[in-house]
Amino acid sequence: MCLPVADARSRVSVLRVSQSYRIDFYRLGELDTSITGLFKICQPDKLVLTWRKFGVLDDAQSVVNIHIQEGSAQSSVKLRHVGLPSFEESRWHWQMWNNSVKKLTGLFEYSGMVDTAANAETGVNC
Tens digit of each residue's pLDDT (9 = 90 or more) over 98-109: 988 888 888 877
19, 30, 97, 108, 118 from 101: Cα distances, Å? 23, 24, 6, 11, 7
CATH of domain 39-119: 3.30.310
Q: Distance from CA of residue 15 to its chain's centroid?
A: 14
Q: How many helices and strands (H and E) does the chain possess?
A: 1, 7
Q: Across residues 30-43, what is the average pLDDT? A: 92
Domain ranges of the chain: 39-119
In this predicted structure, the answer to whether residue 110 has a pLDDT above a threshold of 70 is no
Q: pLDDT digit string (tens) for 50-98?
A: 999 987 666 678 999 999 888 777 778 899 999 999 999 999 999 999 9
Q: Distance from CA of residue 44 to its chain's centroid?
A: 17
In this predicted structure, the answer to whether residue 121 has a pLDDT above a threshold of 80 is no
Q: Which position has the higher pLDDT, 44 or 109?
A: 44
pLDDT (0 to 100) of residue 56 = 61
Q: For residues 67 and 53, is the Cβ–Cβ distance under 8 A?
A: no
Name residues whose C-beta falls within 8 Å of residue 120's C-beta, 6 or more positions apart in sequence: 78, 79, 80, 97
Q: Across residues 9-16, what is the average pLDDT? A: 91
